[in-house]
Amino acid sequence: MPRRPRPPCPIPGCPELTSGGQCAKHKREANKSRVSNGKSYDVRWQRTRRAYLYANPWCVLCAQPAVVADHHPITRRQLIDQGVSDPDAPERLRPLCVRCHNGETAKRQPGGWAAERRSERESGLS
């Protein structure tokens, strides 16, 4: 029985054949950009988030089950830029449900987080 042909890397212009998904080169590039400047969410954040949501299971805005540990009143990125030693401390978090988190994000970041990064890039700040 013949094998199914391997698909090309989904990145436009890359001819590399893969077993599915991106080629090794583009996976490395994606991982590099994800963790640049030490601003990514790491394993420590995942543990902090899980423990926080276990201790605070209800959304503070609507009392539905919380699934997001949101940084409040300022974002994690702003805390890191200010040089805060522990931006993920429980006193800087609040539990939210997905609906409330999406609403708060829409209010505080018009155009989403990508628009904020895009405007930084275009102005030459980043």
Segments forming the whole domain that contains residue 63: 56-123
**Does residue 19 lie within any of the structural domains?**
no
Domain membership flag for residue 41? no
119 in a structural domain? yes
CB atoms within 10 A of CB 108: 13
Tens digits of residue pLDDT in 26-65: 888 877 665 545 556 778 888 999 999 999 999 999 999 9
Q: Does some domain include residue 73?
A: yes
Q: What pTM was computed for the model?
A: 0.59
Burial 69-89 (b: 16+ CB within 10 A, else e): bbbeeebbeebeeeeeeebbe
Nearest-5° Cα angle at 87, 85 to 92: 130
Domain count for the chain, please give it.
1
Residue with token string 């904020």: 116
Q: What is the pLDDT of residues 1-36, one digit of tens each?
A: 778 888 999 989 999 999 888 898 988 887 766 554
Token readout for 97 is 């449900």
